[in-house]
Chain A
Amino acid sequence: MVVLFFVVILTLAALAVHVGVWRLAAPRLHTRALAIIFLGVLAAGLGASFSGLLPHLSAIEAVHVALTYVVGGLAYICFYSAIEENSPSTLIVEFTAAAGTDGRQLDEYRTIINDDLLIGSRFHALLRDGFVREQSGTYDLTAKGVRTARIFTATSRLLDLSGTG
């Protein structure tokens, strides 16, 4: 029971800190800030347990707490990416819903789904996050970009995918 108690308390504490920080001044790099908050709260919680401020955890219970809490935190970070940016698929469905029973023609979608939304924002993000670099007017992948591309190429082969995106 103490493991569940810790996971619930730490998760609620991390979410409270997250909402508080975002309300005061949302950080520029959201994912990194979320990771720091979640790991900081975990360290504080385990420290409080070992120092006697919170119920004592054995070493294996601490591992169980950390594992479950970190997995939950990562799942939240995945969900958060949908909050950060508009998903084109969700925009399309909401745009269709707004038309009600009249529906939409293909041309109408071009007013909301354009190159700036689809390509511009993502290309800026690749530059900002260090996957792509500029060199005298042209761009190429950084080592980090090449590694990431290899991971996803291998995964796509494993899942037998092509022509997605």
Chain B
Amino acid sequence: MTWHESVALASVPIVAQTLVTVLHLVLTRLRPAWLPWQSLAVASAAGVVFAVGMTVAIVDHGSSLDLACYVILNSGASVAFAFGYFNFVNLNYTSLRVRLLRELAHRSGGFTVDDIMRQYNAGVALDLRLARLVKAGELRFDGTRYYLGSSRKFLSIGRTVRVVRGVLGVRPQEPKSVKCGEVERS
């Protein structure tokens, strides 16, 4: 394999992720009615297909074993890149910490915990989350009660997390009091 081919092969996941990012941004504008995960899934799938195609095109005269190894490597790297991008985008949709930071950035002259609680509390967050989970098919709402929906993604994620916690011997952090005057640097 020439030096240029090696450089091209190493660059494939980066180029594929650039494609994923651009395609995702285009899809969010062209298909605003789609769920965020739909445009991300389509863009990510396109990125992986692109990575596999480019890898096959670059290693066209190598052995089958080399080709298989590079396809696994570059498709794996593209999936990992797309997963990282998904998490970054997801922070914008669901992260309370990011929401807090963005809201606090607009306050000048400092703020108290009571200021935050007046604007943003569990009641508001719960309503938002339930609505989002119903829209995503994770929950079903009949007007009075919530039931498990047809999608079981979050249930699978929860089970996987519990298995990994068991392997690592990790327990999730205990919730900390939000009462005024009790927030301290830990």
* Residues of A that sit less than 8 Å from B by CB: 1, 3-4, 7, 18-19, 22-23, 26, 58, 60-61, 63-64, 67-68, 71-72, 74-75, 78-79, 81-90, 92-94, 96-97, 101-106, 109-110, 113-128, 131-132, 134-135, 137-141, 145-146, 148-150, 152-153, 155-156, 158-161, 163-165
Q: For chain B, give the interface size range.
A: 35 or more
Cβ-defined contact, B126 with A71, below 8 A:
no
CB-CB under 8 A from A123, the residues of chain B are 100, 113, 116, 176, 178, 183
Majority secondary structure of chain B interface residues (helix, strand, loop or mixed) = helix
Q: Which of B29, B74, B94, B122 contacts A114 (CB 8 A)?
A: B122
Q: Does B100 contact A127, Cβ atoms closer than 8 Å?
A: no
List residues of B (96-117) whose CB comes within 8 Å of A's CBs.
Answer: 96-102, 104-105, 107, 109-113, 116-117
| A contact residues around B148 at 8 Å (CB) | 93, 96-97
Is A89 touching B129 in the complex (CB atoms < 8 A)?
A: yes
Across-interface contacts of B36 in A (CB, < 8 A): 159
Are A128 and B158 in touch, CB under 8 angstroms? no
Q: Is B41 engaged at the interface, CB distance under 8 Å to the other chain?
A: no
Contact B126 A113 (CB under 8 A): yes
Contacting pair B96 A110 (CB below 8 A):
no
Tell me how far the C-beta of B146 lies from the nearest C-beta in chain A, rounded to whole angstroms. 5
